[in-house]
Amino acid sequence: MYRGNFFRAYGFWHWGEGFQTVLFTWYMTFHAQLSATEIGFYQALVLSPFLVFTLIGGALTDRIGAGLSYGVSTLLFAGILIGYGILDHAFGFVPQLFFAYCVAAGLVSAVSNPAIDTFIAEATPAPVQRNALLAASAHNVAKLVGTLTGLLIPFLMAVGGFVVNGLLMALSVLFLRLHQRQAPRFVRPVATIRGGLSDVIAHFRAMPESFDIWLASVMLGLFMVPTGYILWPLVLRERFPDYGDMIALVNISSWIGAITVTVVAERLSDRIRFPGRWALGIWAFYSLGVLALMVVGSFWLLCLTVMIFGSVKLGKALVYGRYLANSPEGRRGVLIALDQTAFWGLATLGTFVMGVMVDVVGLYVTISGAAACVMAFVLVLTLRGNLSAISAT
């Protein structure tokens, strides 16, 4: 795996994100003892800026530069994390203060996310496809490390957890600055455009494969991400309730699966001539494999199934490099933000709707419906032909 400062910066950012996911859930559930309704409200609150402000963050990145945008927003994020941990230690849980924290953290995260991704295409002199796979591997390893680090939260307590999380974010900024100072810029031959939403629409018309990659992010956000938040946790609760305390092991299994396939794909990158076809095959396999959730016979088989599901993360990584390569210099931040809005913003809505569907029509009908919707998306993308035609970059 490439060991440049960019991937250290990218790794610390996603290490912090993975750690924050565990910290945030632990804080609300055990430290603050919030109700289920309150937990759902604050979860949605911290993710809600991705529906609107990610695009603003992308536009800001295009205007002032990705390095400055990421550095300022992520250092603010670090300060918010550390400051909230200290305030919680001094005053305990205060609903108004936690509300402000969720809004502020969501806003700066919505700026940082598109900014860091703008560096992926030119992170190394290697082809963009390989850079995207390297970034995916760094992301998956960091998320796993963040999840494992979350096991220390009961010892760190709330104040220690928030301070550690803030330090991880600050280290990411440090390594990105080192990357900018030390690494040459590997400029890709793309046109530069500047303007508003009309230019983005024109870009999608000129680059239909980029539009289809964005449609794939819509599919992932609406149906695949909610599977991890809703479907397999409820399968665990319904079929194997005695293993509820081992839910973290299922999460770890997912990241192990993701790391395995992305590392292998990165090493075989030069042999993957048509990455779009592989991505479509992976998503089709997922749509069929998710039905296995209805018949898994043991907890350990569920872990294995979820580990195999982890391979679905490779699909986006295979085509994301092409999306970045097609993104013109003056609009790259906005285009990345638009992609992340489709992924994370719609994941917020998809998770809510999928949870409601389970209550209305039942768990197994919801699983079947999600699998059918993913397959329908894959068939439409296949018939359009744009992803199938993508060659290695």
Angle ∠(328,221,357) on CA atoms, nearest 5 = 160
* DSSP per-residue codes, 257-315: HHHHHHHHHHHTGGG-S-HHHHHHHHHHHHHHHGGGGGT--SHHHHHHHHHHHGGGHHH
Buried b (16+ CB within 10 A) or exposed e, 283-318: bbbbbeebebbeebeebeebbebbbbbbbbbbbbbb
Could you give the C-alpha distances from 15 to 69, 114, 167, 312, in angstroms and in order?
Answer: 20, 17, 11, 20
Amino acid at the residue 124: T
Which residues, including other chains, have CB under 8 Å from residue 352's CB and lie 6 or more apart?
44
Co-location of 246 and 153 in the same domain: no
Question: Is the CA virtual torsion 248, 249, 254, 258 positive or negative?
Answer: positive
pLDDT for 212: 95
Which residues, including other chains, have CB under 8 Å from residue 359's CB and lie 6 or more apart?
none
Specify if 192 maps to a domain: no
Specify if 389 maps to a domain: yes
pTM value surpassing 0.75: yes
Distance CA 81, CA 181 (A): 27
Instruction: Identify whether the C-beta of residue 302 lies closer than 8 Å to the C-beta of residue 232.
Output: yes
Specify if 194 maps to a domain: no
Q: How many domains does the chain have?
A: 2
Q: 191 pLDDT exceeds 70?
A: no
Co-location of 172 and 313 in the same domain: no
Q: Residue 358 is part of which domain span?
A: 199-393
Distance CA 322, CA 212 (A): 11
pLDDT for 188: 43
Question: Which tens digits make up the pLDDT trace of 155-190?
Answer: 899 999 999 999 999 999 999 999 988 765 544 434
Band the pLDDT of 1: cuts 50, 70, 90.
Answer: very low
Closest CA to 113 of 156, 174, 162, 49: 49
Instruction: Identify whether the C-beta of residue 75 lies closer than 8 Å to the C-beta of residue 168.
Output: no
Instruction: Identify whether the C-beta of residue 132 lies closer than 8 Å to the C-beta of residue 272.
Output: no
Amino acid at the residue 257: G
The CB-based long-range contact list for 59-65 (8 Å cut-off, 24+ gap) reads 59/333, 59/334, 59/337, 60/111, 60/333, 61/111, 61/114, 61/115, 61/118, 61/332, 61/333, 61/334, 61/337, 62/194, 62/330, 62/331, 62/332, 62/333, 62/334
| The two structure tokens encoding residue 239 | 């079929």
Co-location of 145 and 267 in the same domain: no
Specify if 193 maps to a domain: no
Co-location of 317 and 237 in the same domain: yes
Closest CA to 339 of 354, 363, 321: 321
Co-location of 51 and 122 in the same domain: yes
Q: 368 pLDDT exceeds 90?
A: yes
Band the pLDDT of 214: cuts 50, 70, 90.
Answer: very high
Which has the higher per-residue pLDDT, 311 or 275? 275
Instruction: Identify whether the C-beta of residue 222 lies closer than 8 Å to the C-beta of residue 346.
Output: yes
Residue 165 sits at φ, ψ, to 5 deg, of -60, -40
Domain of 152: which CATH number? 1.20.1250.20
Co-location of 58 and 156 in the same domain: yes
Q: 47 pLDDT exceeds 80?
A: no
